[in-house]
Amino acid sequence: AQKITQTQPGMFVQEKEAVTLDCTYDTSDQSYGLFWYKQPSSGEMIFLIYQGSYDEQNATEGRYSLNFQKARKSANLVISASQLGDSAMYFCAMRRTGRRALTFGSGTRLQVQP
C-alpha cells in the first residue's frame, strides 16, 4: 500500500521569501509518480508539478521546484518568492505507474503574510 505523509498542518511565510513544504512517501514500487496540487478556498485542485521516480533531475515549474530525494523517500515542494496568492492548501500525491488512483497526503495550509 502507498502512503503520503505531510507533517506540517500549517505554515506561515513572509511575502517574497521562499518556503519548503515537506512530503514523505512510503511505497514498495520502483516506478511511480509524485505530484503537488494547490487547493484554494474555492475547492479546485490545481496541478503544480510532477516528478517521476526515474527522473534524475529535480522538476521545476516557474517558482515551484521539487526537491526529490529518492533514498529518503521525500518529495518536498519549494516555492520561491512567495506571493499573497500562494495562500492555500497544498497536497502531495503519488500514483503507481500504470495504476489509476492518486493517493493524497493530508495537506499543508500555507499562509503568506505581507
**Which residues are near another protein by CB under 8 A?**
4, 35, 37, 42-47, 50, 91, 93, 95, 97-107
Amino acid at 30: Q
**In the bound complex, what is the minimum distance in angstroms from residue 3's beta carbon to another protein?**
11
Q: Using an 8 Å Cβ cutoff, are 20 and 109 in contact?
A: no
**Environment class of 37 (CB within 10 Å of its CB; exposed 0-12, middle 13-18, buried 19+):** buried
Q: Using an 8 Å Cβ cutoff, are 57 and 65 in contact?
A: no
**In the bound complex, what is the minimum distance in angstroms from residue 54's beta carbon to another protein?**
15
Grid cell of 80 as nine digits:
520561491
* Choice between 75 and 93, CB closer to another protein: 93
* Choice between 71 and 111, CB closer to another protein: 111
Is 84 strand, coil or helix? helix
* Choice between 12 and 47, CB closer to another protein: 47
**In the bound complex, what is the minimum distance in angstroms from residue 79's beta carbon to another protein?**
19
Q: How many residues are listed for the chain in this entry? A: 114
* Choice between 14 and 97, CB closer to another protein: 97
**In the bound complex, what is the minimum distance in angstroms from residue 10's beta carbon to another protein?**
12
